[in-house]
A and B are shown apart, each in its own frame.
Chain A
Amino acid sequence: MPRGYAGKFLEIDLSKEQIKDITITESVLQAYLGGRGLATKILWDRLGDSWAKVDPLGPNNMFLALTGPMTAIYPGARICCSGKSPLSNGTVGSTASTEFAAELKMAGYDGVIVTGKANRPVYILVTDEGGEIRSASHLWGKLGEDTIRILNKEVTEELTKRKPNIGLWREPGMIYIGPAGENRVRNAAVMTKICHAAGYGGYGAVMGSKNLKAIVAKGRSKLPEVDAPEAVKLLWKEVHRHLIAENGFRRMGTGYAGYSVGADTSSEPIRNWQEEWHDERRFGGPSFETRYWVKKLWSDFNCTTSCMKLSCIKTGRWKGDITDMPDYELQAYCGTNLGIFDAGDNIHISTVIDNLGHSGINGPNTMGFAAELYQRGILTKKDLGFELKWGDAAAFEKLAWLIAKREGIGDILAEGTFRAATKISKMKGVDVAPYAVHVKGIEIGAHGTRSDADYTHDISYAANVQGGDHTSVAVDGYSELSSAVFTDSAVICNFCFFWVPRALVFDFAKAVTGFPITMESWKKENGPRIVALQRALLLLGGPDITWTPIEDDENPPRFYEPLPSGPHKGKTTSRDQVKQKRQVYFETLGWDERGVPKKETLEKLGLNDLEPAMKELRK
């Protein structure tokens, strides 16, 4: 049996209320590992035949929460959520840091696979005894903080009742949705630990469409055995040594970047990306650190880096808000993108977004889009019910609630930026697509391409199988295939990966699994195989939208407008560069000039069963 794995997956059909344990063959695990890779493979195997017809928000979609063999053993335990994305109609490997991943493995499971739809709100409980479906009627409508509080109490009480003598039960791990997911807001997140989110892909909406409020896990068994225990011990110490030396990053997390990405690399979204530069010095890291950070080295299971910070607002207007830092993405999206440059206001919007279960990136992207339409007089006070001015935190809070509940204008904006733009264009008789910043329906992360000074460039998003996902950008079709594609499948945290010599990480992977894992094999085989599958599913798309190759392998119109301000004023993304790099990217991956995987490539990667569908796409 392959090492690092608990040995089985939990499969639950919520329509039939059927629960079973399943195993996956070793050859599949060796090729796809877990997380993103394995989820994509399972989705292709089970739904590939009818992919274009599967409604991501219907009962036929699957929701997967998978770990990988390195999860909880290598620093930075994460869970990877996937399914058919309600945004891109493809797949995303969407991860979040959480003890849930460790508890799942301790309960004896490598992942949970959910199909069908429950006829009333439920949550799934996973213990050493297996999986069960429990009522969540009392939880439906609850915000994140309350969901955790209630489930912690309820589950420990229940487990104590079942096994009364054994001592105190530790709290379970859990992933859950907020009102946004419940109401199938298309870009809603899967939440955990109040402020961690599997944000990209809209999988919170998928859970909501299944009436699935949460998945809770509590196990008391060992973590899985590894192939070479002495080697893993030594390698863990080496990895730890590298991570704990990152003093700068550990102290600041990504939450000092709210100022510098705007001021230095000029790639931060300001007011719906109308600008990407700001010099609001009061928005610097210290404004957060001294007043709001109550815990400065905060982490999740088996994490050395501990770059998270716990923030709390103790006085004033937003008293009682609890969230993390915020991290850079939410400083940008719940801050500068909404014209907010006050630390307290930024923390407040982050808290509201987290509690409602919006994705901190995708949700405020749509809110910024709405605010620009208001700025331009396309959406009016009458449409919104109130004024939506840049920088008005109370107004954006109001909007976040409307979207989460699909009330008023919220019902349209809940469709995500891309689909909302289509609806509003029709509604108003004005083309508002130029103001929508997304790629293939997935709203873009807070790193722009126009300055060319950040790590994101021409095809980073345009060619990315995960659209606007900034954590897994397209580079050259080779070098990046052993980065996010790997970490999302081994399921470990990127911030326990970046500063570690790659050879060490891959030796660790080998020592855990016993698989012949190398960086080169991931760049040449495993990575390309996963990405080819993702590309295929992305192009098959449907049912509401199918992307047009080349035409939709593009940046949003805004990314071709010259930057209006800052040290990179006048610069913009080069269409020629995009065209040229895209061709090279497709070629390197063995895809044709429209980015459809070629027959030889599919043969080489053992994906022959994709050929009939790809043949159709080549016409």
Chain B
Amino acid sequence: MKINIRVFGDLVSTLGRRQTVELDEGATILSLTNRLAEKAGLKRQGYLGNHKVNGDELAVLVNGRNIRLLNGLETILHEGDEVVFLPPAAGG
């Protein structure tokens, strides 16, 4: 199934701004982030660069919903889902 990814902030340099990822049916956020990490040459499981995927700082949204309110890393993805990676940021 195809999952659409949008990336912001300091993760753009490692992951690019947008991509579409092909995953097996029933894949979870963890499998997605592992795939993205693999593609980008990042080593740590459950992390994207310095950001813990299911941690306090990086906001990971599936169709606008934060994974912390779904099933965290075990959140199951579906065809056409949009996953957004939002490192904490704000302006001044």
Tell me, yes or no, whether A and B come into direct contact in the complex with CB atoms closer than 8 A.
yes
**Which residues does A use to contact B, with CB under 8 Å?**
254, 327-329, 445-447, 452-456, 470-473, 475-480, 482-484, 494-495, 498, 501-503, 519, 523, 580-581, 583-585, 588
Q: In chain B, residues 50-74, which have Cβ atoms closer than 8 Å to a Cβ of chain A?
A: 56-57, 59, 61, 63-66, 68-69
Indicate if the CB atoms of A478 and B90 lie closer than 8 Å.
Answer: no
What are 6 of the A-B contact pairs (CB < 8 Å)? A446-B91, A501-B57, A502-B56, A584-B63, A588-B65, A588-B69
CB-CB under 8 A from B61, the residues of chain A are 476
Docked CA distance A455–B90 (Å): 6
Would you call A519 and B92 a contact (CB within 8 A)?
Answer: no
Most chain B C-beta atoms within 10 Å of own C-beta, residue among A445, A454, A476, A583: A476
Given known contacts A475-B86, A503-B56, A519-B56, A495 and B92 CB-to-CB distance under 8 angstroms: yes
Contact, CB under 8 Å: B90 / A328: no
List B contacts of A585 (CB < 8 A). 64
Contact between A476 and B65, CB atoms less than 8 A apart: yes
Check A479–B8 contact: CB distance below 8 A.
no
Any A CB within 8 A of the CB of B9: yes
Q: Smallest CB-CB separation from B17: which chain A residue?
A: A453
Instruction: Judge whether B41 is part of the interface by a CB distance below 8 angstroms.
Output: no
| Contact across chains for B92 and A478 when beta carbons are under 8 A apart | no
Q: Quick one: given A455-B8, A478-B69, A588-B69, are A580 and B63 in contact (CB under 8 Å)?
A: yes
| Given A447-B91, A479-B68, 18 further pairs, Cβ under 8 A | A254-B91, A328-B91, A329-B91, A453-B8, A454-B91, A455-B8, A455-B90, A472-B90, A475-B59, A476-B64, A484-B90, A498-B88, A502-B57, A523-B68, A583-B64, A584-B64, A584-B65, A588-B69
Which chain B residue lies CB-closest to A332? B91
Given A581-B64, A584-B63, A588-B66, check contact A473 B90 (CB 8 Å).
Answer: yes
Interface residues of B in 12-57 (CB under 8 A from A): 17, 56-57
A479's partner among B9, B17, B86 (CB-CB below 8 A) is B86
Q: Which residues of B lie under 8 Å from residue A583 when comparing CB positions?
A: 64
State the main secondary structure of chain B at its contact with A.
Answer: loop
Smallest beta-carbon distance B16→chain A, Å: 12
Residues of chain B having any CB pair with chain A under 8 Å: 6, 8-9, 17, 56-57, 59, 61, 63-66, 68-69, 86, 88-92
In the complex formed, the residue of A with least CB distance to B60 is A479
The 9 closest A-B pairs by CB, nearest first: A584-B64, A479-B59, A455-B89, A254-B92, A478-B66, A581-B64, A502-B56, A476-B66, A470-B91
Across the interface, name the chain A residue whose C-beta is closest to B55.
A502
Docked-complex contact B90 and A498, CB < 8 angstroms: yes
Q: Which of A452, A454, A484, A584 has the most CB of B within 10 A?
A: A584
Contacts of B90 in A (CB 8 A): 455, 470-473, 483-484, 494, 498
Please state if B91 and A483 are interface contacts (CB–CB under 8 Å): no
Which residues of A sit under 8 angstroms from B86, Cβ to Cβ? 455, 475, 479
User: Of all chain B residues, which has the CB nearest A477?
Assistant: B66
Contacting residue for B59 out of A327, A476, A498, CB 8 A: A476
**How far, in Å, is A260 (CB) from chain B's closest CB?**
12
Most chain A CB inside 10 Å of its own CB: which residue of B59, B61, B68, B69: B69
Chain B residues lying within 8 Å of A445, measured Cβ to Cβ, are: 91
Chain B min CB distance to A488 (Å): 12
Q: Which residues of B contact A475 (CB under 8 A)?
A: 59, 86
Interface contact A328-B92, CB-CB below 8 Å = yes
CB pair B56 A327 closer than 8 Å: no
Residue of A nearest to B9 (CB): A455
Bound Cα distance from A86 to B66, whole angstroms: 34
Residues of A within 8 A of B59 (CB): 475-476, 478-480
Identify the closest chain A residue to B57 (Cβ).
Answer: A502
B residues in contact with A473, CB < 8 Å: 90
Q: How far is the CA of A298 from the CA of B56 in the complex (A)?
A: 31
CB-CB nearest in chain B for A482: B56
Of chain A, the residue at the smallest CB distance from B69 is A478
